[in-house]
Chain A
Amino acid sequence: MTAVAEKQVQNGVNVEALLGAREALSKAPEAARFNWKATSKWVGGTHTRTHMKSFFGLGGDQSHKSEFSFDTDHPEIFASEDKGATPVEMVLTGLAGCLTAGVAAVAQMRKIQLRSVKATLEGSMDIQGILGIDSDVRNGFDGVTVKFEIDADATKQEIEALVAQSQKRSAVYDILTNPTNVTVSVS
């Protein structure tokens, strides 16, 4: 540690490690290729359990410290048993996790101490699409809103800049706002 009389900010994000990784990967861009993996198994009805353990990155196979699993299902008003969140809610989970992590990382970089970060997400949808009632209605969200409430040592403008920058660098935000080729096959 260097003895710098700077404002001490601790958001629990290791910015030095992130900057180090950025530096190293800009010199070895092939190591920046990641492949995220999930395996799922139908439980019954509309209930599915999905597991995440291994992934590929930095030129080799990697693994989470332990396996994570998530249940998805549909609520009772869809005549389901409601044994998990809906898949579309899992999309909101991904967006919330990604944007909030971004807010924390950018805040650490900009030496802004966060005290609390809350987000309320809504995805709106007309289910005439998935039910095949009206072919002009899309299946997915026709809009997503995210409302942040952030308590931090910063001006309103600085907080707005944090949130804007976190969207600019977010993977899930990009996935939701841009088209992606999806290939589904059967083995």
Chain B
Amino acid sequence: MRTDVVIVGAGHAGLAMSRRLGERSIDHVVLERGEVANSWKTERWDSLRLLTPTWQSRLPGFADASGEDPHGFRTMPETIAFLERYAWAISAPVHQHTAVNSVRRTEEGYAVQTSRGAWRSRAVVLASGACNIANVPRQLAAALPAAVASFTPHQYRNPSQLEQGGVLVVGASATGVQLAEEIQRSGRQVTLAVAEHIRMPRRYRGRDIQWWMDAAGILDLRHDEVDDLGRVREVPSLQLTGNDQGRMLDLNALTASGVRLAGRLAGLRDGKALFSGALANQVALSDLKMNRLLDAIDGWVSEKGLEGEVPPPERFEPTRIEASPPLALDLVRGGIRTVLWATGFRPDYSWLEVPALDRKGRLRHDGGVVDAPGLYVMGLPFLRRRKSALIDGAGEDARELSAHLATHLDQRAGIDLLMRSTMSGGTKFTSSVLSASTSST
């Protein structure tokens, strides 16, 4: 089977790209290992809601009038239904239950092997997600005592899966803080190991924090305007929840609900978890970062003369920690039955047989234009702008990348035309230019 472009993945990113290619009448297919919104269907815990308000899921060419509260936060079933409506509305050429097994370079583009046959295309867009694999620190996980169960966020659905008893949640970004709270509420004592994290109020000066970052242009900061792109692409997710509308889920809220805080999980030795003694600095850095963002928002309000229209600035109590946070915890004696690794995610490129990965297994790309002609990627953190990993960021990234892709196809078309005429015409029909170029090789 042949097409101009294969898009791998029918989530928001792949669908947005499909819509943009459709606008340009570029022939393409969207290959999906499961069903539309597959990761949202199969790799999320039950209580999760989107961390961005409903108004902020703007996808290209889609005015969704489903009667939802624009300021609410979609549940997973609502998110799935939304993406299904979108796929239908844009008539995306999705091939469901078609798992991509390999992508290889060919003379004219790419060969894509799937569980349902092979495709040849001139370009490929990777929209298969940024969170396929849970980053579990192998050495630490291997050193866990046998009596302690180990869960990744992909395996976790709700607290009833966990044995009664203590739970060590490792990581305090969006996933870690949400799961720590839910599990603590279920009556299991949670200890939270806290490394670098970003504290963030859900609401500020009467608006959702995402509204401010959107309105003030903070989410639009481009990849080519950033000093240290490698660093911003590794920044942890914001400590936010879409549950209990408007509530701030920071370390102070967790402490108040009974969660115990410790430093970064630094080692496991003789059944003891060892925690870094740097917790005080981690929370100080996070408070400073949050306050810098709030200063920037306040500055924007003054600059736009909006002081009268919104409530006055507010500042939040510094993060409270114990004077001497625990440095070690004997897991078995301390009653820990489960360790939950909320230590981040990474994409799976095990099927990508194109030499485009760096030494740490990350894709080499410039704003989504991968270091391999005709290969593109969508949906990674800070791909082209700060909002690239949000549903709301897919539209603009797809617009720019589809333009680059269209130019690539036009240029390739010129080269292919020349190649075909030399191949099929042999020496008889070649122009003087072509015979000059063939004889020189």
Contacts and interface: CB of A to CB of B under 8 A. Distances in A.
Interface in A153-171: 157, 160-161, 164-165, 167-168
A169 to B, nearest CB: 11
Interface stretch (A85-93, A112-120, A128-136, A173-181): A173-181
Interface string B262-290: 01101101000010111001001100100
A174 to B, nearest CB: 8
A173 B263 CA distance: 14
A141 to B, nearest CB: 10
B66 interface: no
The A contact surface, by secondary structure, is helix
5 contacts: A164-B285, A168-B285, A177-B278, A178-B266, A179-B274
A59 interface: no
B278 A160 contact: no
Contact-size category for A = 10 to 19
Interface centre among B267, B269, B281 (most CB of A within 10 A): B281
A143 interface: yes
A179 B324 contact: no
Given A160-B288, A177-B263, A177-B276, A167 B324 contact: no
A60 interface: no
B274 A164 contact: no
B359 interface: yes
A101 B287 CA distance: 24
Contacts of B284: 160, 164
Interface centre among B263, B269, B278 (most CB of A within 10 A): B278
A168 B281 contact: yes
Nearest to B323: A143
Contacts of B54: none
Given A143-B324, A177-B263, A179-B267, A157 B277 contact: no
B313 to A, nearest CB: 14
Nearest to B263: A177
Contacts of B276: 177-178
A29 interface: yes
Contacts of A143: 324
The B contact surface, by secondary structure, is mixed
Given A29-B359, A143-B324, A168-B281, A179 B288 contact: no
B319 interface: no
B291 interface: yes
A176 B281 CA distance: 13
Interface string B57-84: 0000000000000000000000000000
B281 A167 contact: yes
A167 B280 CA distance: 10
Contacts of B264: 178
Contact of B291 (A157, A176, A178): A157
Contacts of A177: 263, 266, 276-278
A161 B269 contact: no
B232 to A, nearest CB: 15
A35 B284 CA distance: 31
A67 B269 CA distance: 38
A119 B263 CA distance: 24
A177 B277 CA distance: 4
A168 B196 CA distance: 10
Contacts of A164: 281, 284-285, 288
A160 B26 CA distance: 54
Contacts of B263: 177
B291 to A, nearest CB: 7
Nearest to B264: A178
A177 B280 CA distance: 11
9 A-B pairs with least C-beta separation: A177-B277, A177-B278, A167-B281, A178-B266, A179-B267, A164-B285, A179-B274, A164-B284, A177-B276
A153 to B, nearest CB: 18
A142 B325 CA distance: 11
Contacts of A157: 288, 291-292
Contacts of B274: 178-179
Contact of B278 (A161, A173, A179): A173
Given A179-B266, A179-B267, A167 B288 contact: no
A173 B359 CA distance: 28
Nearest to A176: B277
Contacts of B281: 164, 167-168, 173
A157 B287 CA distance: 11
Contact of A179 (B269, B285, B291, B292): B269
B277 to A, nearest CB: 4
A41 B99 CA distance: 66
A142 B263 CA distance: 16
A132 to B, nearest CB: 21
A167 B277 CA distance: 12
A105 to B, nearest CB: 15
